[in-house]
Amino acid sequence: MERINTFFGRHVWAQVLLTVLLGWAVIMLMSPGEPPLVVLTRAAVTSAGAVAVLLVLRAREKRTAHGSADRLVILDRQLRRGGIPSSLIDQKTMLNLVEQRLHRTRHRGSALVVLYLMYALLVTAPLLLGHVRQALVCGLLGAVLLPLLTWQGGRQLRRLRDMRETLRRGTSGPRLGQE
């Protein structure tokens, strides 16, 4: 898993490609009769917003990590493992990165409520229009992905808060408590 995280951390194009291909697969499941090239084009166009957000956030984090994708990957790996950088400059950089990520999560609760409501609408609308297959695909995806995303987001938020407190205290222990 570490190799996959490192690969995606260094190569944003791979994240973009994966986003488009996953969107293509989901649309193919919901609309089985459409030509694959048309569906691929639709997936690429609808993924454009997510890709734009990903690129902007990535650029901000690279600036915080002083401009290097490799440096950002190293800091991210240390953050996931709970490791504290040895140098004071790296500790300050990691604290800035953690603060930036925590700032982005300030509206997490209300965003989750909106996400769940939108997904409920996404399942209900096709049912009302008689598109049972689309409603089933969306419902199954939502039943699996929404609780997983909620749990994973909460876990990452706790990890970020723990790291912020550790870095603010200046503790340079080898590891932070892992979950």
**Do residue 67 and residue 133 come from a single domain?**
no
**Do residue 3 and residue 76 come from a single domain?**
yes
**Confidence band, pLDDT 50/70/90 cuts, at residue 147:** very high
Domain boundary among 81, 100, 133: 81
Number of structural domains (the chain) is 2
Question: Is the residue at 177 inside a domain?
Answer: no
Q: Which residues contact 76 (CB under 8 A, 6 or more apart)?
A: 5, 9
**Do residue 6 and residue 58 come from a single domain?**
yes
Residue 8 has pLDDT above 60, yes or no: yes
Residue 132 has pLDDT above 70, yes or no: yes
**Do residue 75 and residue 123 come from a single domain?**
no
pLDDT for position 23: 81
Domain around 54: 1-81
H or E, element range at 156? helix 132-169
**Do residue 65 and residue 122 come from a single domain?**
no
Using CA atoms in the order 102, 105, 106, 108, what is the torsion angle rounded to 10 degrees? -150
Question: Is the residue at 128 inside a domain?
Answer: yes
Average pLDDT across the chain, whole number: 86
Domain boundary among 65, 81, 97: 81
Question: Is the residue at 56 inside a domain?
Answer: yes
Give percent above pLDDT 70 in the chain.
95
**Do residue 72 and residue 114 come from a single domain?**
no
3-state secondary structure of 10: helix
Q: Which of 1-15, 93-107, 153-167 has the weakest average pLDDT?
A: 1-15
pLDDT for position 68: 77
Q: What is the pLDDT of residues 37-89, one digit of tens each?
A: 888 888 888 888 888 888 898 889 888 888 778 888 888 888 888 888 888 88
Question: Is the residue at 63 inside a domain?
Answer: yes
**Confidence band, pLDDT 50/70/90 cuts, at residue 28:** confident
Chain centre to alpha carbon of residue 74? 18
Residue 172 has pLDDT above 70, yes or no: no
The alpha-helical segments, DSSP class H, found in 105-131 are: 108-129
Count other Cβ atoms within 10 Å, centred on residue 75: 24
pLDDT for position 42: 81
Structural tokens at position 47: 């993924």
Question: Is the residue at 16 inside a domain?
Answer: yes
**Do residue 67 and residue 131 come from a single domain?**
no
Residue 175 has pLDDT above 70, yes or no: no
